[in-house]
A and B are shown apart, each in its own frame.
Chain A
């Protein structure tokens, strides 16, 4: 079975996504590298997630599809700008690696992680959630259809159970 991150890259190609936006993210790093190496995708590093909504709007004005990769901790940075997807009524796709979720060790990640689905729904973003590797491809594909065929803002929550628990304190804990 292929890696779920490679599956997402395949979905991007199937849906003719031309621009991919990201901030630094360990969970998305393999996918980001695949996009950077691709000849058909322009990959942009953002300084804040809020930028991604504006760039996506510009790309759509120019006839290109895009996707944004972020962590749940960055979702709060996008909320006001997310309104642009409704005002202009343009397709928007984002894939969100969850923190403050399944077995999170860092208490600082919980507030935004727990609020992520609520605030996205408040802004009218259609939510998908996936925690099994073999369901990632179909889920991201469904979200891309919702966005680009249905003209909606759609988000896929890649649950922490799928990504794996970050635990850089493990070795020290034994000492």
Chain B
């Protein structure tokens, strides 16, 4: 059985990033999250990752501390966060009030053929069982008090508001559908992505 999620990641991320201005700094995790933020419109103040799995949470923290007057939003997948659980506690220790984390959880390893990830339920048979891991609860347990799960379209408007404006650190786990979507790719060169980001933010690369 697949997840009962009904939210679609592409329109959701588009909604989250709607009207993004110079105040919003976005980091997208490798794979689908990268294509999702790019689908919403490639911009210099997006840092889409093509690798570095496990980096987005830490990167968001370093950026949020360096730019306290800007909003920093990390958009990434469940397995990426599962690979860097310790960073949740590292973030909680610093309590950056300008950092929001949006985890798109499809309960699958989407890049490698949709095998069950650790957030999939247990007892789904020998090839489709996860651990039933609840990242929102884990985040709360790591000290991120403002952590919640979103499943329904009716809660999306509030989700967007929380991610864009609520006092951080904000952690939102969003259950999304398993979908086959086209790749919408930003530039790949890391040094270029970094330089254009710094140029847009700081005026110099």
Residues A54 and B94 in contact, CB atoms below 8 Å apart: no
* Residues from 98 to 125 in B contacting A, C-beta threshold 8 Å: none
Q: A155 CA to B63 CA in the complex, in Å?
A: 22
In the bound complex, residues from chain A placing their C-beta under 8 Å from that of B193 are 88
Digitize A130-153: 1 where CB-to-B-CB distance is under 8 Å, 0 elsewhere. 000000000000000000000000
Residues B190 and A88 in contact, CB atoms below 8 Å apart: yes
Q: A62 CA to B60 CA in the complex, in Å?
A: 10
Decide yes or no whether B167 CB sits under 8 A from chain A.
no
Residue among A19, A47, A50 making CB contact with B65, cutoff 8 Å: A19
Decide yes or no whether B181 CB sits under 8 A from chain A.
no
Decide yes or no whether A26 CB sits under 8 A from chain B.
no
Residues A63 and B52 in contact, CB atoms below 8 Å apart: no
Residues A87 and B190 in contact, CB atoms below 8 Å apart: yes
Residues A62 and B66 in contact, CB atoms below 8 Å apart: yes
Residues A18 and B66 in contact, CB atoms below 8 Å apart: yes
Residues B90 and A45 in contact, CB atoms below 8 Å apart: yes
Q: Report the minimal beta-carbon distance from A89 to chain B, rounded to whole angstroms.
A: 4
In the bound complex, residues from chain B placing their C-beta under 8 Å from that of A56 are 62
Residues A55 and B58 in contact, CB atoms below 8 Å apart: yes
Decide yes or no whether B202 CB sits under 8 A from chain A.
yes
Decide yes or no whether A162 CB sits under 8 A from chain B.
no
Residue among B94, B190, B197 making CB contact with A44, cutoff 8 Å: B94
Decide yes or no whether B184 CB sits under 8 A from chain A.
no
Q: A62 CA to B69 CA in the complex, in Å?
A: 11
Q: Report the minimal beta-carbon distance from B73 to chain A, rounded to whole angstroms.
A: 13
Interface size class for chain A? 20 to 34
Q: A174 CA to B24 CA in the complex, in Å?
A: 63
Interface size class for chain B? 35 or more
Decide yes or no whether A71 CB sits under 8 A from chain B.
no
Residues B52 and A47 in contact, CB atoms below 8 Å apart: no
Q: A61 CA to B46 CA in the complex, in Å?
A: 11
Decide yes or no whether A46 CB sits under 8 A from chain B.
yes
* Residues from 41 to 68 in A contacting B, C-beta threshold 8 Å: 42, 44-48, 50-64, 66
Decide yes or no whether A79 CB sits under 8 A from chain B.
no
B190 (CB) vs chain A CBs: closest residue: A87
A55 (CB) vs chain B CBs: closest residue: B62
Residues A87 and B191 in contact, CB atoms below 8 Å apart: yes
Residue among B54, B66, B94 making CB contact with A59, cutoff 8 Å: B66
Q: A51 CA to B58 CA in the complex, in Å?
A: 6
Residues A61 and B197 in contact, CB atoms below 8 Å apart: yes
* Residues from 38 to 73 in B contacting A, C-beta threshold 8 Å: 47, 51-52, 54-67, 70
Decide yes or no whether A123 CB sits under 8 A from chain B.
no
Digitize A58-93: 1 where CB-to-B-CB distance is under 8 Å, 0 elsewhere. 111111101000000000000001011001111000
B67 (CB) vs chain A CBs: closest residue: A62
Q: A19 CA to B58 CA in the complex, in Å?
A: 13
Which of B81-89, B127-135, B153-161 forms part of the interface with chain A?
B81-89
Chain B residues at the A interface, C-beta cutoff of 8 Å: 25, 27, 47, 51-52, 54-67, 70, 84, 86-87, 89-90, 93-94, 190-191, 193-194, 197-198, 201-202
Q: A51-B58, A58-B59, A88-B193 are in contact. List 9 more A-B contacts (CB 8 A).
A: A50-B84, A54-B56, A54-B57, A56-B62, A61-B66, A62-B66, A63-B67, A66-B62, A88-B194
